[in-house]
Every structure is written in C-alpha cells, then in structure tokens.
Amino acid sequence: MTLSRIVKQVTKLKFNVDIATLVTQADDLSTFFKAAVSADLVDTLKGQSPLTIFAPDNEAFSNVPAGTLDSVLNDKEQLTSVLTYHVVGGTHLAADLAKQKTLKTVQGDMLEVHEHHWLRHGIKINDAVVKDADLECTNGVVHIIDTVLMPK
C-alpha cells in the first residue's frame, strides 16, 4: 500500500520514526529519497532539529523536463540547493501554514504560502499543491507536494 492511499484513509498521521525513515518507507517518495542520498542529506533528515519537508512525490519528479532533471541529479551542489529549498526549520503543520505568507528555507530563499479553500488541504507552496499534509515524525513534519520546487 502506498503512503498516499494510507493518508487518504486517515486524516492525520503521527509516525514514531524520523523523517528519513518515513521517506524511505514511502513508495511515493522514492525519487525524493534517492535524491537526498545523492546529496548526502539523509543525516539531516534523521537529525534532532525539527524540520518541515515539502517532499515532491514521484509524479512531481516525472513532470520535470528530462534535461533539467538529469542536470540537477548529476550536479551535487545544484541538487543540494534544490532539495534544501524544500526544507524549512521548525515544525509547520497545515493549520500553521495557512497563517503564513512566506517561509525561509534551509537553502536561504523564501517560499510563498498561498491559502486556497478549494484545495484538499487548502495550501499551495509557490505553485505546488500540498497533496498530503501533516505526516508528523519524531523530528518534524512532511507535506507531500505535486511539484518539484526550483530555487530562483
């Protein structure tokens, strides 16, 4: 069973694992996890500091033009920049995000938060729709998004 199917069955999930373990076990996030391994970010996802991860699902990665995706995946510095653009310090649940206008990423740039009542979870991050929200882990929260965010 994929994580998306599990999430659709339960409104809020709290896992007794760190973010890296959750991502490892989620079939829908396998490309994100492989990218995190390539960028040497797995220890960060296992760390003590609370983090909020906007994790693009596999479909999001498949929608990135092949040339762009290959370029990013083969350049560790660029890959690290792209992935850390999906990470915000602290734990930001969907209800918290709805009150935000911007969030500063670990990469250093800002993400724009848009509230849309007609969306399932009511939140967009830049142009990405939050498909599955509030996957709470021992060291933060994961929100699954439908788009790979690219730093400006």
Q: Which sequence spans correspond to the domains of the chain?
A: 3-145
As assigned by CATH, the class of the 3-145 domain is mainly beta
Which residues, other chains included, contact 55 with Cβ-Cβ below 8 Å and sequence gap of 6+? 23, 29, 32, 86, 142, 143, 144, 145
Please give the single-letter amino acid code of residue 27. Answer: D
Global confidence as pTM:
0.89
Closest CA to 109 of 66, 151, 49: 151
Give me the chain's average pLDDT, please.
Answer: 90
Which pLDDT tens digit goes with each residue over 81-122? 999 999 999 999 998 998 899 999 999 999 999 987 766 668
- CB distance 77 to 94 below 8 Å: no
**Six token digits for residue 130:** 């939050």
Which pLDDT tens digit goes with each residue over 72-83? 999 999 999 999
For residue 11, which phi and psi values (nearest 5 degrees)?
-75, -30
